[in-house]
Amino acid sequence: RKEVEQDPGPFNVPEGATVAFNCTYSNSASQSFFWYRQDCRKEPKLLMSVYSSGNEDGRFTAQLNRASQYISLLIRDSKLSDSATYLCVVKAGGYQKVTFGTGTKLQVIP
């Protein structure tokens, strides 16, 4: 089993739709969680951290379920500019070993 797993997609959704991605992780000692966004041939950029209580930033909501070992990202009212690959990142261990998922590709269609 991979340390961090994501559905690679692509998720093709119309503008205005709500879309959700899940990411599962295998290391129960994982401590920090993030969602990054990566545009084609560009570097990943932090979208949001994921807190135990869940957190929201505008149209984006991230949640953590430690019992089931997954994090989720919900995007409401999708925009064309949301088209990108969304990477799940998990940190664990004393020096916070970082593991990326393979990413989920989102394509928002007009």
Partner 1 sequence: DAGVTQSPTHLIKTRGQQVTLRCSPKSGHDTVSWYQQALGQGPQFIFQYYEEEERQRGNFPDRFSGHQFPNYSSELNVNALLLGDSALYLCASSWGGGGGTEAFFGQGTRLTVV
Positions in the binding site for partner 1 (CB under 8 A): 4, 6, 31-32, 34, 41-46, 49, 87, 91, 93, 95-103
Residue 67 CA to residue 73 CA, distance in Å, equals 17
- Whose Cβ is closer to partner 1: residue 44's or residue 63's? 44
Q: How far is the CB of 59 from partner 1 (least distance, A)?
A: 20
Closest distance to partner 1 from the beta carbon of 69 (Å):
18
Rounded distance between C-alpha atoms, residue 4 and residue 91, angstroms? 10
Nearest-approach distance from CB 89 to partner 1, in angstroms: 8
In whole angstroms, what separates CA 57 from the centre of its chain?
13
CA distance 31 to 27: 9
Complex with partner 1: residue 53 or 95, whichever CB lies closer: 95
